[in-house]
Every structure is written in C-alpha cells, then in structure tokens.
Amino acid sequence: MPRFRLHLAYDGTDFHGWQRQEPPGASPLRTVQGVVEEAVSTAVGAPTRVQGASRTDSGVHAKMQIAAFDTETRIPVDRLAAAISSRLPEDVQVLSAHAAPAEFDPSVHCASKGYRYRIRHGVGQGVAQPLFDRRWVWFTFHRLDPAAMQRAAGAFEGTRDFLAMTSADHGRETTVRTIHTCRVRAIDAHDLAIDVAGPGFLYNMVRIIAGTIVEVGRGRIPATEVTAILDSMDRRRAGPTLPAHGLCLEWIHLDPKWRCEA
C-alpha cells in the first residue's frame, strides 16, 4: 500500500497534545493526531491511521511536525496537502505532502528536533504583556539576565542522565538523553528565546530545562550550580515546569536518507 508523508503546523492551544487519547467510557479528547486522522480518512474515503515524529504535549505548538500514513487514493500527491487541509480545523495546516518509501517511519528516522521557548520579561515602563502573541509567549514580571541564562544553558549540552529534568511519571525505561544545543537568545530588551535541540526528549523535559534557566535568570539559582543539579538527578532541585503555551516545535531533521524538499 502506498505511503505518504505530511509536513504539518498547528496552534496547540486547544489540543490535548499530538497523540490520540480515548479515555475509557468517555469521548475522545481533541488531539492533533485525532483531527488529522479524521481529515485524511475523509479525504481518501477510508479509515486511516497517522503516525507522527514527535508527541508534543497538551498546549504545545508546532511549526514543523512530520507524519506518515498508508492508503490507496486517487488524489494526486501534488494535491494531497490541499485536499487534507480543506478538511482540517483552522488551527492545523498541512504544509506539504510527499510520496514516501514503505519503510519510512517519522519517529525512528528523526535525527533531531528543535524546540523554542519564548519569554517576555520585565514587563512595565511602557512595555506591555503579550497580546496578539499571548498564546505563544510566556511572560514574567521579573527582569531576567540573558547572559547568566546563556552560561547556564551550556551545562545541558551533551549526553547524560536527565532524571532531574523530567516528571516522575515520565514512563521511559531510561532517562539518558542527548542535547545537541541549548542556547538563550535575547531578541530585544524584554523578549528572549530558549532553543533546545536533540534527537529526543523526556516528558516535560524542555519546559523544566527552560524553568531552570529562568531561575538562573532571576538570580535564584547560580549558573554554576546547574551541573550539580543534573548530577544529583533530583527533580526537586531543578526549576519549575514552565507553561506549555510558550513552547513550540520549530523543526525536525530527518536522517539524510529520508530527507526531501519541504
């Protein structure tokens, strides 16, 4: 059966994350995977399961999600994105569609993912809280120190046990992960972004990393203490889990064999 690959974007505000959720004895929750499967199934005229590369949490956005599905369809591949998008709600879009090899797996063949956490800080003195981008930017009245935050960010890079940076119910056999890059970028005097990239992350991991870096920016945790927090593998020593709406899956890089033009 032919396999197809989709590049998707969505505003995660009104979704319970990517992964389909069907609580026993209750109606299915609204998830990105659920609405995409419904749209694909309607477009091709047959029930179709869709597999994603990354399980974004409830409220988390994506500018680039990759998914795949198998189906027989008479829709030409160059019209498939439009056919599916026309059946999607306004907070999800198919950016492009491609034919894919039968063995393509968006999760297995993902080489790295890049997340960005956006923050507005030190609001006041004529600088307003987020309004038009309030669903995508977390704000704090505390004035943060981006230079100290950048010094702390470097401690997260590399391969190590990130037990201190995940929730107790992470559900994984191992908490060892690799972070390729972790950087803090000051956009202007009141806006900054925390960028984290790696092949895979634990439950709430990026939001806890961001929360720990924010605590450094507030002066509550010294930048030099981050390595000790990681070594302790004690979640209680790390910063808070920041709200989901500031986080966005910015990009996904596939292994070179599986790349194609977006």
Q: Mark whether 191 is an active-site residue.
A: no
Strand-pairing partners, residue 93, are 9
Of 11, 57, 161, 188, which is the active-site residue? 57
Question: What Rg do the C-alpha atoms of the chain give, in angstroms?
Answer: 20
Q: For residues 96 and 19, give the distance between their C-alpha atoms in angstroms, rounded to a whole number.
A: 21
Q: Are 235 and 168 in contact (CB under 8 A)?
A: yes
Closest by CA position to 11, among listed 247, 241, 229 = 247
Mapped onto helix, strand or coil, the DSSP state of residue 216 is: helix
244: nearest Cα among 204, 198, 191: 204
With 0-12 CB in 10 A as exposed, 13-18 as middle and 19+ as buried, what is 215? Answer: buried
By the 8 A CB rule, do 259 and 27 touch?
A: no
How far is Cα of residue 136 from the mean position of the Cα atoms in its chain?
12
Residue 90 backbone phi and psi in degrees, to 5: -70, -10
Residues 6+ apart with CB under 8 A from 220: none
The whole-angstrom separation of Cα 56 and Cα 246 is: 13
Catalytic positions, written as ranges = 57
